A and B are shown apart, each in its own frame.
Chain A
Amino acid sequence: MEKNEKLMQGNEAIASAALYAGLSFYAGYPITPSSEIAEICSKELPKRGGVFMQMEDEIASMAAIVGASASGAKALTATSGPGFSLMQEHISAAVIMETPVVVVNVQRQGPCVGLATKPEQADLTQLGWGRHGDQAVVALIPATVAECFELTVKAFNIAEKYRVPVILAPDEQVGHVRENIVVPAPGELPVINRAKPTCAPDAFTPLSFKPGAVAPMSAFGDGYITRMTASMSGEDGCSNSDPDNASRRVAQLHTKLEAGRAEIVMIKTFDTDDCDVLIVAIGSPVRCARTVAKEARAEGKRVGVLQILTMWPFPYAEITPYLKKARKVIVPEMNYAGQMAGEVLKCLDDPDKLIKVNTFNGQIIKPEDIAKHI
């Protein structure tokens, strides 16, 4: 079969992949640099039996996709910094109601309105910890247009399988770059749909708090009485203030992701077998790091790149062996504090190995920013 090669923008690949994964509902509010995703969905969803809604704000957008997911839809929203901040409460609602949704945050420079059309990676910590309350989410970050496609399909699969909100957070550079990609043929990538209950309606409970459990999910109207609440509930979906119940409930939100860690946590390595200097990167700096590593190799220096694709849950255990082998670890990222470097530091045997490279001026990291530290 002939390969379907296409010149695509990152945001376009995200929208195409969402449709590939069976997207049937989109609700969002326009914001640069994410708006292409909404525009493509508004055009494509009606043709495929789906629904596109432009909401009054990002709070409503996030609520609407959680509601649609509860009605059985595969639901998506896309936004950027200011809008992502407004969505936090209802990402939390998706966590506690265990509704599968995918939220795209195309990261732009901040704080606040900032440089609205420029890239940054200053939301890395917020992706994982931006909400009130004790909870776990999944956050994936692509570095190429091909990864935008693959990780979007993966995001829906993780969301559906584990009943969890999955955040996809390319920086603006990745969202807007255009590259040739081979578009996967239908059926080439696995597409997972949530498990539905098969029991008698009387025996149905919408949740399970067993460690690692993910209960089958009914949609409203399926014939099961489905009780969902953003408050603390028992497995029956009814309000429950028992401390033991709360403890089991919160633990299960974490353990279900721990149980799926092998397929949720993703890293890629390039020339790491013998490397003396390891560059650990995520998002668009990965592109730059690979260029630097290639050029250094040509000069006989042993430089490798470790790409992180799953920011949360952070791959502490998965990256530790690579960090141990390296003499020097460089973490380039587009934020002041070194948000990812802080996580890498937790896995380092010797903190003096770490070199942080930080830019926060709305410009992408350049090869010379990294190369001078090798």
Chain B
Amino acid sequence: MSHATGEAYLKRSGLPHLSCAGCGNGIIAGALMRAFEELNIPPEKIVVVPGIGCSGTVNRYLNTNYLHSTHGRALAFATGIKAANPDLHVVAFVGDGDGATIGGNHLIHAARRNMGITVVLVNNYNYGMTGGQASGTTPAEARTSTTLMGNPERGFDLCALITAAGGNYVARETAVAGPRLQKRLKEALQNPGFSLLEVMSPCTTLFGPRNGMKNPRLMLRWLREKALTEAKYNEMEDPQSQGYFRVGVFADKTNPSFSQRYETMRQRILDAAGGK
């Protein structure tokens, strides 16, 4: 059996890529293209909606439809795209500053509506494209260009947040998770409701060096160490304060999506009108 390459979804003219050494963006984009291929989704039925930030450059490499949107608002554009044509596979490809900080409100409301959108959220712990400022997921005490003496704020636990907001499928993996990343993407793409895959991919150029990891190798080693399964995570005393995070699936439900519920409501209106 041959393995998926994702080639049909890759726009080669977009190469060479723009990412820094050790950046997870290319790995995540590659996994997404292979997931598309394994699920046999035609490129013309896919709409990828990036925001603005390092993750937002993904459309450069894609041979699918895309709408490269504004900073923080990818979910709102994606909501309109999906609601107007529920047959499309809509993937919001966003970052943590973009998708969960300035765009936090859209993220929780899209999850609450259970919009049939797949969100790939690349969490690099900072605003990479603008020089590494603190975002809504920067851990407490972490150093960034706007928290040089340590972050006085705490970072969001996005998987807990989106599970609480009602998203059908919620999972977290790291950019170094290998084939598991592709597996999770396929699970997310197949769920008819809202799905979020948070991919931990700390910025090797800006976040790493400011936090004691001088080169990408050290940053990626840190990433592998800090990702724990649910069992291991629960065994630890106060794991979050030591930088550990849980990976795996947080929610996997089959609740009806916005579009499914809307059709039910529409039928009710039409039935009521017919009965008059």
Q: Give Cα A69 to B64, complex, Å.
A: 18
Q: Give Cα A75 to B49, complex, Å.
A: 19
Minimum-distance CB pairs A-B, first 9 = A67-B80, A64-B80, A63-B76, A229-B68, A68-B84, A71-B84, A60-B76, A68-B80, A67-B81
Most buried by B among A64, A66, A69, A224: A64
Q: Which stretch (A51-59, A173-181, A277-285) binds chain B?
A: A51-59
Q: Does B129 sit within 8 A of A, measured CB to CB?
A: no
Q: Mark A16-37, 1 if CB is under 8 A from B, else 0.
A: 0000000011010000000000
Q: Does B146 sit within 8 A of A, measured CB to CB?
A: no
- Decide: B73 and A219 in contact? CB cutoff 8 A: no
Q: Mark A75-119, 1 if CB is under 8 A from B, else 0.
A: 100000000000001100100010000000000000000000000
- Decide: A71 and B85 in contact? CB cutoff 8 A: yes
Q: Give Cα A63 to B103, complex, Å.
A: 12
B108 nearest CB neighbor, chain A only: A56
Q: How far is the CB of A165 from chain B (nearest CB, A)?
A: 14
Q: Give Cα A309 to B161, complex, Å.
A: 48
B residues neighboring A (CB under 8 Å): 14, 43-45, 47, 49, 59-60, 63-70, 73, 75-85, 87-88, 105-106, 109, 262, 265-266, 269-270, 273
Q: Give the number of chain A interface residues (Cβ < 8 Å).
A: 45
A residues less than 8 Å from B75 (CB atoms): 60
Q: Give Cα A242 to B205, complex, Å.
A: 28
Say what secondary structure dominates the interface of chain A. Answer: mixed
- Decide: B67 and A60 in contact? CB cutoff 8 A: no
B67 nearest CB neighbor, chain A only: A228
Q: Give Cα A67 to B47, complex, Å.
A: 10
- Decide: A56 and B80 in contact? CB cutoff 8 A: no
Q: Give Cα A46 to B267, complex, Å.
A: 9
- Decide: B44 and A47 in contact? CB cutoff 8 A: no
B residues less than 8 Å from A73 (CB atoms): 80, 84
Candidates A24, A89, A226, A230; contact of B65 at CB < 8 Å: A226
- Tell me the A222-253 residues at the B interface (CB within 8 Å): 222-231, 238-239
Q: Give Cα A222 to B44, complex, Å.
A: 7
A92 nearest CB neighbor, chain B only: B70
A residues less than 8 Å from B45 (CB atoms): 221
- Decide: A231 and B85 in contact? CB cutoff 8 A: no
Candidates A53, A75, A97, A220; contact of B47 at CB < 8 Å: A220
Q: Does A65 sit within 8 A of B, measured CB to CB?
A: yes
Candidates A27, A221, A224; contact of B88 at CB < 8 Å: A221
Candidates B63, B81, B87, B270; contact of A225 at CB < 8 Å: B63
- Decide: B65 and A25 in contact? CB cutoff 8 A: no
- Decide: A24 and B67 in contact? CB cutoff 8 A: no
- Decide: A64 and B44 in contact? CB cutoff 8 A: no
Q: Give Cα A81 to B35, complex, Å.
A: 45
Q: Give Cα A97 to B266, complex, Å.
A: 31
Having A225-B63, A227-B59, one finds 7 other A-B pairs with CB under 8 Å, namely A46-B269, A63-B76, A71-B85, A89-B70, A97-B67, A221-B45, A221-B87
Most buried by A among B47, B75, B80, B109: B80
Q: Does A70 sit within 8 A of B, measured CB to CB?
A: yes
Most buried by B among A47, A60, A67, A69: A67
Q: Give Cα A56 to B115, complex, Å.
A: 13
Q: Does A72 sit within 8 A of B, measured CB to CB?
A: yes
A49 nearest CB neighbor, chain B only: B266
- Decide: B60 and A238 in contact? CB cutoff 8 A: yes
A residues less than 8 Å from B79 (CB atoms): 27, 53, 55, 60, 63-64, 67
- Decide: B73 and A220 in contact? CB cutoff 8 A: no
- Decide: A27 and B80 in contact? CB cutoff 8 A: yes
Q: How far is the CB of B217 from chain A (nearest CB, A)?
A: 31
B residues less than 8 Å from A75 (CB atoms): 80, 84
Q: Give Cα A221 to B66, complex, Å.
A: 11
The answer to whether residues A67 and B84 also contact, given A46-B265, A60-B73, A225-B63 and a CB cut-off of 8 A, is: yes
Q: Give Cα A72 to B79, complex, Å.
A: 14
B42 nearest CB neighbor, chain A only: A223
- Decide: A51 and B77 in contact? CB cutoff 8 A: no
Q: Give Cα A72 to B266, complex, Å.
A: 20
Q: List 14 A-B contacts (CB under 8 A).
A: A24-B84, A46-B269, A47-B269, A55-B76, A56-B105, A56-B106, A59-B76, A63-B69, A67-B80, A221-B88, A225-B65, A227-B59, A228-B68, A238-B14
The answer to whether residues A93 and B83 also contact, given A220-B47, A225-B63, A238-B60 and a CB cut-off of 8 A, is: no
B49 nearest CB neighbor, chain A only: A67
Q: Give Cα A229 to B73, complex, Å.
A: 13
- Decide: A60 and B84 in contact? CB cutoff 8 A: no
Q: How far is the CB of B267 from chain A (nearest CB, A)?
A: 9
- Decide: B64 and A225 in contact? CB cutoff 8 A: yes
Q: How far is the CB of B266 from chain A (nearest CB, A)?
A: 4
- Decide: A64 and B76 in contact? CB cutoff 8 A: yes
- Decide: B44 and A224 in contact? CB cutoff 8 A: yes
